[in-house]
Each structure stands twice: as C-alpha cells, then as structure tokens.
C-alpha cells in the first residue's frame, strides 16, 4: 500500500483512469515492481520523495507485476524495476533498474511543467519584444522561486549573455552541478560566452572590416570579426576567418585560429554536418 497522496497502486481495472487519463494533465511515472525485487525497494523511496517534493507536478502509479502480469506483458516489461513515463496517453520515456536520484530529476526536468517554466515562456516573449532587461528580472524571480529548475538557470545565463552581463552568466553556468557541465546546452552557452568575451574587447565591426580590407593578414581583426560572426550565427563566415588565421599563423594567440574553429563546430553541432565536415577537412589539411 502507498502512503503518499501522489503515489497510487494501480491494476488492470484502474490503469486507464489513473495512468492514461491523468497523463493528459501531467506526467505519470508507472513503476513496474515486485515484492521480491531488491532494486525495486531501493527505487521506491526515491520516487516517493520526488513525488512529494514536486507536489502534483507528476504522480507515480505502481504496478505489482506478480499480480498484474497482463499489464506487464502489454507494456513489454522484461526486467524489474521498469519505470515508464506516460504523457497524453502514451509512453514518452522509460528507464530500467534503480537509477540514482539525480538521474531521475533530470528525467523529470524533461517532462514536468512547473510554474517557473511558465515564467520562462513569458521571459522569452519579453525578450522577443526587445525587453531583455525585464525578461532577466522575471527569470531572476523564477530562479529564486524554483532554484532546482536548471532550465531557468540556463535561460537566465543566456539572457545575461545577450545583455552583456558576461561574468554573471559565466558564474551561473559554472555553478551548475558537475554532471551537467558536459551537457550540449551548457557547452553551447559556455562556447558562446567565449565568443562574447572576444567581441566585448574588440573594436566595432565596421572598423574590423576596414582593417581586414587594408591588410588581409590583420589576424587580430579577423579574430574579433570571426567571433562576432559566430555569435550572430553566421558560422561559415566565422570559420573562414579562423581558417584564414590558421593558414597564416599557427602561433597567433597560441593557435587560436584552430581553437576557435573547433568552437564553431561545437556551436553548429549536428545542425549542418556537411558544413562541419568541409571545414574540418580543411583544418586537418593544415594540421598534417
């Protein structure tokens, strides 16, 4: 028997209402378990704790597979514990085995909508209206209200970066848990921050372009202009500048042309593999 108001025992009769019905309103984590299963006993208190903490952001439905063999077979359960996340009547994610609390929190972050997420959406609208300062203040409030929502931290860091508050943005990103640092969204923001710092100390774009027109080997100007192009999403132009630096001087800022070229690859990610492949080949031809 369950004792939490957010954790329910379900069977074949109650599954449609408690799981499928409720999943139209919020995520339902279905925990397929058995009394003899030691990992199930390890997982259960973690799910109970998180369900209480999220206070209705999701619910847990527990299926005793020894008693509900038909349900377990219907959903392809082959090992215990198996946890399936239901949303809008369908399974949207699952995991096997007794996962650590941190991993389950990350899963919940992908599916549970919080009040702070509503503020995030409002901040995005404000930024689109040119009210970045107001958006930042809304996100500060959301972060104070829900410090565990790392999506708010990432949005706030992004807005601060756009607003030029680079040190505060960097502090927020480095303050995220160590296991989040390698995540693509964090790496992308840190990479953009790197380019933003270059742009912040570089002359205006028009001056950089004029310097390059007068002296194509003005690598300092190319470095600043390439960073600006990368920040603006003009990745091919940025890579041309950094590749030009590589061709002309591998010693410029200790091979900064190559390093920034790799940073642009990071920003592009898997959005344009052909473009990355072409410039990676050009870079390799200069290395070997």
Q: How far apart are CA 30 and CA 59, in angstroms?
A: 9
37 among known catalytic residues: yes
40 among known catalytic residues: yes
Find the catalytic residue in 10, 18, 40, 47.
40
Q: How far apart are CA 120 and CA 149, in angstroms?
A: 11
Query: H helices within the chain, ranges in order?
Result: 15, 38-54, 69-74, 101-111, 115-128, 132-145, 150-163, 166-174, 184-201, 205-214, 219-232, 235-248, 256-268, 273-287
Find the catalytic residue in 7, 28, 30, 37.
37
With CA atoms as reference, report the closest residue to 24 among 92, 84, 88. 88
42-46: which pairs have CB atoms within 8 A and are 24 or more residues apart? 42/98, 43/81, 43/83, 43/98, 43/99, 46/98, 46/99, 46/101, 46/104
Please give the positions annotated as active site: 37, 40
């Amino acid at each position: 028997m369950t004792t939490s108001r957010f954790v329910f025992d379900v069977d074949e009769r109650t599954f449609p209402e408690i799981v499928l019905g409720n999943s139209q309103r919020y995520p339902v984590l279905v925990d397929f378990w058995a009394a003899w299963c030691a990992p199930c006993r390890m997982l259960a208190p973690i799910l109970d704790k998180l369900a209480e903490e999220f206070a209705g952001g999701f619910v847990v439905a527990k299926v005793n597979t020894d008693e509900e063999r038909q349900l377990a077979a219907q959903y392809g359960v082959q090992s215990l514990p198996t946890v399936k996340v239901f949303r809008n009547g369908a399974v949207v994610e699952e995991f096997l085995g007794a996962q650590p609390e941190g991993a389950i929190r990350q899963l919940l972050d992908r599916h549970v909508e919080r009040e702070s997420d509503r503020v995030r959406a409002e901040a995005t609208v404000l930024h689109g209206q040119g009210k970045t300062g107001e958006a930042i203040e809304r996100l500060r409030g959301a972060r104070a209200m829900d410090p565990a929502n790392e999506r708010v931290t990432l949005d706030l860091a992004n807005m601060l970066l756009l607003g030029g508050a680079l040190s505060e943005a960097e502090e927020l990103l480095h303050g995220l848990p160590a296991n989040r640092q390698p995540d693509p969204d964090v790496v992308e923001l840190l990479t953009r921050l790197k380019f933003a710092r270059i742009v912040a100390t570089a002359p205006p774009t028009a001056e950089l372009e004029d310097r390059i027109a007068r002296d194509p080997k003005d690598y300092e100007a190319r470095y600043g202009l390439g960073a600006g192009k990368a920040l603006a999403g003009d990745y091919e132009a940025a890579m041309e500048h950094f590749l030009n630096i590589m061709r002309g001087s591998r010693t410029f800022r200790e091979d900064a042309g190559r390093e920034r070229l790799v940073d642009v690859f990071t920003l592009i990610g898997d959005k344009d593999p052909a473009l990355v492949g072409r410039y990676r080949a050009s870079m390799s031809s200069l290395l070997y």
